[in-house]
Amino acid sequence: MKNPRVIFAGTPEFALASLSALLDAGVVPVAVLTQPDRPAGRGKHLKASPVKQCAAEHGIPVLQPLTLRDDEVVAELTALRPDSLIVAAYGLILPQTVLDIPRHGCLNVHASVLPRWRGAAPIQAAILAGDETTGVSLMSMTAGLDCGPVYATATLAIGQAETAGELHDRLASLGGATLLENLDDILDGRIAAVEQDESAATYAGKIGKQDARIDWTADADDLARRVRAYNPVPGAFFFVAADDGYASEALRLKCWQASAVADVDAAPGTVVESGRDGIVVAVGDGGLRLEELQLPGKRRVQARELAAQLDLQGRVLS
Protein backbone atom coordinates (compact mmCIF):
# COMPACT_ATOMS: atom_id res chain seq x y z
CA MET A 1 0.00 0.00 0.00
CA LYS A 2 1.36 3.40 -1.02
CA ASN A 3 1.62 5.94 1.78
CA PRO A 4 -0.43 4.07 4.39
CA ARG A 5 -2.03 6.07 7.20
CA VAL A 6 -0.53 4.43 10.26
CA ILE A 7 -0.94 5.04 13.97
CA PHE A 8 1.96 3.63 15.99
CA ALA A 9 1.47 2.52 19.60
CA GLY A 10 4.51 1.71 21.72
CA THR A 11 6.48 2.86 24.73
CA PRO A 12 9.94 1.35 25.55
CA GLU A 13 13.14 0.73 23.60
CA PHE A 14 11.74 -2.48 22.08
CA ALA A 15 9.02 -0.43 20.38
CA LEU A 16 11.45 2.26 19.30
CA ALA A 17 13.15 -0.19 16.93
CA SER A 18 9.89 -0.76 15.03
CA LEU A 19 9.06 2.96 14.91
CA SER A 20 12.56 3.74 13.66
CA ALA A 21 12.24 1.07 10.95
CA LEU A 22 9.01 2.68 9.73
CA LEU A 23 10.55 6.14 9.68
CA ASP A 24 13.66 4.92 7.87
CA ALA A 25 11.38 3.50 5.18
CA GLY A 26 9.49 6.77 4.84
CA VAL A 27 6.36 5.55 6.66
CA VAL A 28 5.59 8.45 9.01
CA PRO A 29 2.74 7.69 11.43
CA VAL A 30 -0.10 10.19 11.53
CA ALA A 31 0.08 9.89 15.33
CA VAL A 32 1.90 8.01 18.06
CA LEU A 33 0.28 6.46 21.13
CA THR A 34 2.55 6.00 24.12
CA GLN A 35 2.32 5.66 27.89
CA PRO A 36 2.14 8.83 30.01
CA ASP A 37 5.47 10.22 31.21
CA ARG A 38 6.72 8.40 34.32
CA PRO A 39 8.99 9.43 37.21
CA ALA A 40 12.55 8.20 36.65
CA GLY A 41 15.99 8.47 38.20
CA ARG A 42 16.93 9.51 41.70
CA GLY A 43 15.12 12.82 41.37
CA LYS A 44 11.95 11.07 40.17
CA HIS A 45 11.48 13.68 37.46
CA LEU A 46 8.93 12.88 34.76
CA LYS A 47 10.59 11.28 31.76
CA ALA A 48 9.19 10.78 28.28
CA SER A 49 9.26 7.29 26.82
CA PRO A 50 11.80 6.49 24.08
CA VAL A 51 8.94 6.34 21.57
CA LYS A 52 7.66 9.78 22.60
CA GLN A 53 11.13 11.26 22.31
CA CYS A 54 11.50 9.86 18.80
CA ALA A 55 8.06 11.09 17.76
CA ALA A 56 8.84 14.58 19.06
CA GLU A 57 12.09 14.66 17.09
CA HIS A 58 10.15 13.89 13.90
CA GLY A 59 7.24 16.23 14.57
CA ILE A 60 4.70 13.42 14.95
CA PRO A 61 1.63 14.18 17.10
CA VAL A 62 1.75 12.23 20.39
CA LEU A 63 -1.24 10.94 22.34
CA GLN A 64 -0.78 9.74 25.94
CA PRO A 65 -4.17 8.66 27.30
CA LEU A 66 -4.38 6.95 30.68
CA THR A 67 -6.88 4.53 29.15
CA LEU A 68 -8.25 3.69 25.73
CA ARG A 69 -11.68 3.01 27.20
CA ASP A 70 -12.66 6.62 26.77
CA ASP A 71 -15.14 7.83 24.14
CA GLU A 72 -13.16 10.99 23.44
CA VAL A 73 -9.96 9.01 22.84
CA VAL A 74 -11.79 6.59 20.54
CA ALA A 75 -13.27 9.53 18.62
CA GLU A 76 -9.84 11.15 18.28
CA LEU A 77 -8.31 7.96 16.90
CA THR A 78 -11.25 7.41 14.55
CA ALA A 79 -10.86 10.93 13.15
CA LEU A 80 -7.30 10.04 12.07
CA ARG A 81 -8.74 7.47 9.60
CA PRO A 82 -5.87 4.99 10.00
CA ASP A 83 -5.31 2.13 7.59
CA SER A 84 -3.52 0.25 10.38
CA LEU A 85 -2.61 0.61 14.02
CA ILE A 86 0.81 -0.93 14.64
CA VAL A 87 1.50 -1.94 18.24
CA ALA A 88 4.83 -2.88 19.86
CA ALA A 89 5.11 -3.12 23.65
CA TYR A 90 2.56 -0.35 24.19
CA GLY A 91 1.44 -1.32 27.68
CA LEU A 92 -2.31 -0.68 27.47
CA ILE A 93 -5.02 -3.14 26.46
CA LEU A 94 -6.77 -2.21 23.22
CA PRO A 95 -10.55 -2.54 23.67
CA GLN A 96 -12.70 -3.73 20.78
CA THR A 97 -13.77 -0.15 20.05
CA VAL A 98 -10.14 0.66 19.20
CA LEU A 99 -9.41 -2.64 17.44
CA ASP A 100 -12.28 -1.87 15.06
CA ILE A 101 -10.99 1.57 14.01
CA PRO A 102 -8.29 0.83 11.37
CA ARG A 103 -9.45 -0.30 7.92
CA HIS A 104 -6.90 -3.12 7.91
CA GLY A 105 -6.95 -3.89 11.61
CA CYS A 106 -4.32 -3.69 14.33
CA LEU A 107 -0.92 -5.33 13.92
CA ASN A 108 1.23 -6.36 16.89
CA VAL A 109 5.01 -6.91 16.91
CA HIS A 110 5.45 -9.57 19.62
CA ALA A 111 8.78 -10.82 21.00
CA SER A 112 8.23 -14.57 20.65
CA VAL A 113 7.24 -17.15 18.08
CA LEU A 114 3.56 -17.47 18.91
CA PRO A 115 1.76 -19.34 20.36
CA ARG A 116 4.79 -19.89 22.62
CA TRP A 117 5.15 -17.23 25.29
CA ARG A 118 2.10 -15.09 25.04
CA GLY A 119 2.01 -12.35 27.65
CA ALA A 120 4.12 -9.67 29.28
CA ALA A 121 7.62 -11.17 29.56
CA PRO A 122 8.30 -13.48 26.61
CA ILE A 123 12.02 -12.69 26.42
CA GLN A 124 12.69 -13.61 30.04
CA ALA A 125 10.43 -16.66 29.78
CA ALA A 126 12.37 -18.06 26.83
CA ILE A 127 15.65 -17.84 28.77
CA LEU A 128 14.14 -19.23 31.99
CA ALA A 129 12.76 -22.23 30.11
CA GLY A 130 16.09 -22.96 28.46
CA ASP A 131 14.69 -22.45 24.95
CA GLU A 132 17.34 -22.72 22.25
CA THR A 133 15.50 -20.41 19.85
CA THR A 134 12.97 -17.59 19.96
CA GLY A 135 11.92 -14.82 17.61
CA VAL A 136 9.21 -12.33 16.73
CA SER A 137 5.68 -12.60 15.41
CA LEU A 138 3.52 -10.17 13.45
CA MET A 139 0.05 -10.82 14.79
CA SER A 140 -3.39 -9.54 13.88
CA MET A 141 -4.74 -8.25 17.18
CA THR A 142 -7.93 -9.57 18.73
CA ALA A 143 -9.54 -9.02 22.12
CA GLY A 144 -7.68 -11.97 23.71
CA LEU A 145 -4.14 -12.03 25.07
CA ASP A 146 -1.76 -12.45 22.11
CA CYS A 147 -4.07 -15.03 20.58
CA GLY A 148 -4.79 -13.45 17.19
CA PRO A 149 -3.80 -15.04 13.88
CA VAL A 150 -0.17 -14.61 12.82
CA TYR A 151 0.98 -13.09 9.52
CA ALA A 152 4.70 -13.76 9.77
CA THR A 153 7.44 -14.91 12.12
CA ALA A 154 11.23 -14.67 12.24
CA THR A 155 13.53 -16.69 14.49
CA LEU A 156 16.98 -16.51 16.02
CA ALA A 157 19.12 -18.69 18.28
CA ILE A 158 19.54 -17.77 21.95
CA GLY A 159 23.18 -17.57 23.01
CA GLN A 160 24.26 -19.88 25.83
CA ALA A 161 25.39 -16.94 27.96
CA GLU A 162 23.01 -14.32 26.54
CA THR A 163 21.19 -12.05 28.97
CA ALA A 164 17.63 -10.82 28.60
CA GLY A 165 18.97 -7.35 27.85
CA GLU A 166 21.15 -8.62 25.02
CA LEU A 167 18.36 -10.80 23.61
CA HIS A 168 15.92 -7.89 23.90
CA ASP A 169 18.11 -5.72 21.68
CA ARG A 170 18.46 -8.40 19.01
CA LEU A 171 14.72 -9.14 19.03
CA ALA A 172 13.86 -5.43 18.84
CA SER A 173 15.98 -5.10 15.69
CA LEU A 174 14.50 -8.29 14.27
CA GLY A 175 11.00 -7.01 15.01
CA GLY A 176 11.60 -3.77 13.14
CA ALA A 177 13.09 -5.58 10.15
CA THR A 178 10.29 -8.16 10.05
CA LEU A 179 7.64 -5.44 10.25
CA LEU A 180 9.18 -3.51 7.39
CA GLU A 181 9.63 -6.64 5.26
CA ASN A 182 5.98 -7.68 5.55
CA LEU A 183 3.93 -4.52 6.10
CA ASP A 184 3.07 -3.78 2.46
CA ASP A 185 2.06 -7.38 1.79
CA ILE A 186 -0.11 -7.45 4.92
CA LEU A 187 -1.89 -4.19 4.10
CA ASP A 188 -2.38 -5.20 0.46
CA GLY A 189 -3.80 -8.58 1.44
CA ARG A 190 -1.00 -10.65 -0.09
CA ILE A 191 -0.33 -12.46 3.21
CA ALA A 192 -3.05 -14.44 4.95
CA ALA A 193 -2.87 -14.63 8.73
CA VAL A 194 -2.78 -18.16 10.17
CA GLU A 195 -4.69 -19.06 13.33
CA GLN A 196 -2.56 -20.07 16.31
CA ASP A 197 -2.52 -23.62 17.67
CA GLU A 198 -4.20 -23.14 21.05
CA SER A 199 -2.94 -26.52 22.29
CA ALA A 200 0.66 -25.25 22.00
CA ALA A 201 0.12 -21.95 23.82
CA THR A 202 2.32 -21.03 26.79
CA TYR A 203 2.20 -17.89 28.91
CA ALA A 204 4.81 -15.48 30.26
CA GLY A 205 3.41 -13.50 33.16
CA LYS A 206 4.71 -10.22 34.54
CA ILE A 207 7.93 -10.41 36.54
CA GLY A 208 8.14 -8.82 39.98
CA LYS A 209 11.20 -7.90 42.00
CA GLN A 210 10.76 -10.85 44.36
CA ASP A 211 10.83 -13.28 41.42
CA ALA A 212 14.50 -12.36 41.02
CA ARG A 213 15.56 -13.43 44.51
CA ILE A 214 17.95 -16.35 44.20
CA ASP A 215 16.62 -19.60 45.66
CA TRP A 216 19.74 -21.56 46.53
CA THR A 217 17.77 -24.85 46.68
CA ALA A 218 17.20 -24.75 42.91
CA ASP A 219 19.63 -26.54 40.60
CA ALA A 220 22.68 -24.80 39.15
CA ASP A 221 21.57 -24.68 35.50
CA ASP A 222 18.21 -23.21 36.48
CA LEU A 223 19.83 -20.52 38.63
CA ALA A 224 22.31 -19.57 35.91
CA ARG A 225 19.36 -19.07 33.55
CA ARG A 226 17.56 -16.94 36.15
CA VAL A 227 20.55 -14.64 36.51
CA ARG A 228 20.62 -14.17 32.74
CA ALA A 229 16.84 -13.73 32.48
CA TYR A 230 16.73 -11.03 35.16
CA ASN A 231 19.62 -9.04 33.73
CA PRO A 232 19.12 -6.08 33.54
CA VAL A 233 15.62 -5.95 35.09
CA PRO A 234 14.89 -6.51 37.92
CA GLY A 235 18.33 -8.00 38.64
CA ALA A 236 18.89 -11.31 40.48
CA PHE A 237 19.72 -10.75 44.14
CA PHE A 238 20.47 -12.44 47.45
CA PHE A 239 21.31 -11.46 51.03
CA VAL A 240 24.45 -11.71 53.12
CA ALA A 241 23.80 -11.68 56.87
CA ALA A 242 25.19 -8.85 58.97
CA ASP A 243 28.87 -9.11 59.91
CA ASP A 244 30.38 -6.86 62.56
CA GLY A 245 33.58 -6.81 60.58
CA TYR A 246 31.91 -5.32 57.49
CA ALA A 247 28.24 -4.39 57.89
CA SER A 248 25.83 -3.91 60.78
CA GLU A 249 22.85 -5.15 58.81
CA ALA A 250 22.14 -7.68 56.06
CA LEU A 251 23.49 -6.73 52.64
CA ARG A 252 21.38 -7.12 49.52
CA LEU A 253 23.73 -8.04 46.68
CA LYS A 254 22.82 -8.17 43.02
CA CYS A 255 24.25 -10.86 40.78
CA TRP A 256 24.64 -9.89 37.14
CA GLN A 257 26.56 -12.87 35.82
CA ALA A 258 26.90 -16.47 36.97
CA SER A 259 27.51 -19.96 35.63
CA ALA A 260 26.73 -23.50 36.73
CA VAL A 261 29.38 -25.66 38.41
CA ALA A 262 29.19 -29.44 38.80
CA ASP A 263 30.15 -31.65 41.75
CA VAL A 264 29.63 -29.24 44.64
CA ASP A 265 28.49 -30.94 47.84
CA ALA A 266 27.35 -28.67 50.68
CA ALA A 267 24.15 -27.24 52.10
CA PRO A 268 22.41 -24.92 49.61
CA GLY A 269 23.54 -21.33 50.03
CA THR A 270 26.93 -22.22 51.53
CA VAL A 271 29.91 -20.38 50.04
CA VAL A 272 32.41 -23.15 49.28
CA GLU A 273 34.95 -20.98 47.48
CA SER A 274 35.76 -17.29 47.79
CA GLY A 275 39.00 -15.87 46.50
CA ARG A 276 40.98 -14.98 43.41
CA ASP A 277 39.07 -17.52 41.32
CA GLY A 278 35.73 -15.99 42.28
CA ILE A 279 32.89 -17.14 44.49
CA VAL A 280 31.16 -20.53 44.31
CA VAL A 281 27.95 -21.22 46.21
CA ALA A 282 26.45 -24.67 46.80
CA VAL A 283 22.92 -25.01 45.42
CA GLY A 284 20.26 -27.72 45.24
CA ASP A 285 22.15 -29.62 42.57
CA GLY A 286 25.74 -28.53 41.93
CA GLY A 287 27.08 -25.05 42.50
CA LEU A 288 26.71 -21.54 41.14
CA ARG A 289 29.84 -19.55 40.30
CA LEU A 290 29.10 -15.88 40.93
CA GLU A 291 31.03 -13.86 38.37
CA GLU A 292 29.77 -10.27 38.52
CA LEU A 293 28.27 -8.74 41.66
CA GLN A 294 27.14 -5.39 43.01
CA LEU A 295 26.97 -4.11 46.57
CA PRO A 296 24.23 -1.60 47.42
CA GLY A 297 25.10 1.83 46.04
CA LYS A 298 28.31 0.55 44.45
CA ARG A 299 29.43 -0.24 40.92
CA ARG A 300 29.39 -3.73 39.46
CA VAL A 301 32.60 -5.68 40.07
CA GLN A 302 34.06 -9.06 39.27
CA ALA A 303 33.43 -11.58 42.04
CA ARG A 304 37.14 -11.89 42.84
CA GLU A 305 37.24 -8.15 43.60
CA LEU A 306 34.32 -8.42 45.97
CA ALA A 307 35.84 -11.51 47.59
CA ALA A 308 38.88 -9.38 48.47
CA GLN A 309 36.60 -6.85 50.23
CA LEU A 310 34.14 -9.17 51.91
CA ASP A 311 35.08 -12.52 53.46
CA LEU A 312 32.31 -14.94 52.44
CA GLN A 313 34.12 -18.27 52.79
CA GLY A 314 31.90 -20.75 54.64
CA ARG A 315 29.05 -18.33 55.11
CA VAL A 316 25.47 -19.23 54.23
CA LEU A 317 23.68 -16.84 51.88
CA SER A 318 19.95 -16.27 51.88
User: Distance between CA atoms of 34 and 64, rounded to whole angstroms?
Assistant: 5
- The pLDDT, as a whole number, for residue 247 is 64
- The pLDDT, as a whole number, for residue 157 is 98
Whether the per-residue pLDDT at 246 is higher than 90: the answer is no
Query: Under DSSP, is residue 151 helix (H, G, I), strand (E, B) or coil?
Result: strand
- The pLDDT, as a whole number, for residue 45 is 84
Mean pLDDT, residues 274-290 taken together? 94
Mean pLDDT, residues 17-32 taken together? 97
- Its CATH class, for the domain covering 6-204, is alpha beta
Could you read off the pLDDT of 109-118 as tens digits, one per residue? 999 999 999 9
- The pLDDT, as a whole number, for residue 40 is 79
Mean pLDDT, residues 264-279 taken together? 94
Mean pLDDT, residues 26-30 taken together? 97
Percent of the chain residues past pLDDT 70, beyond the cut: 98
Mean pLDDT, residues 90-95 taken together? 94
Percent of the chain residues past pLDDT 90, beyond the cut: 90
Of 234, 178, 185, nearest in space to 211 by CA: 234
- The pLDDT, as a whole number, for residue 56 is 97
Same CATH topology for 6-204 and 211-309: the answer is no
- The pLDDT, as a whole number, for residue 311 is 87
CATH topology for 211-309 is: Methionyl-tRNA Fmet Formyltransferase; Chain A, domain 2 (3.10.25)
Map out the domains of the chain as residue ranges.
6-204, 211-309
Mean pLDDT, residues 70-77 taken together? 96
Could you read off the pLDDT of 123-133 as tens digits, one per residue? 999 999 999 99
- The pLDDT, as a whole number, for residue 42 is 72
Lowest mean pLDDT among 36-40, 97-101, 207-211: 36-40
- The pLDDT, as a whole number, for residue 245 is 60
How does residue 250 score in pLDDT terms, banded at 50, 70 and 90? confident
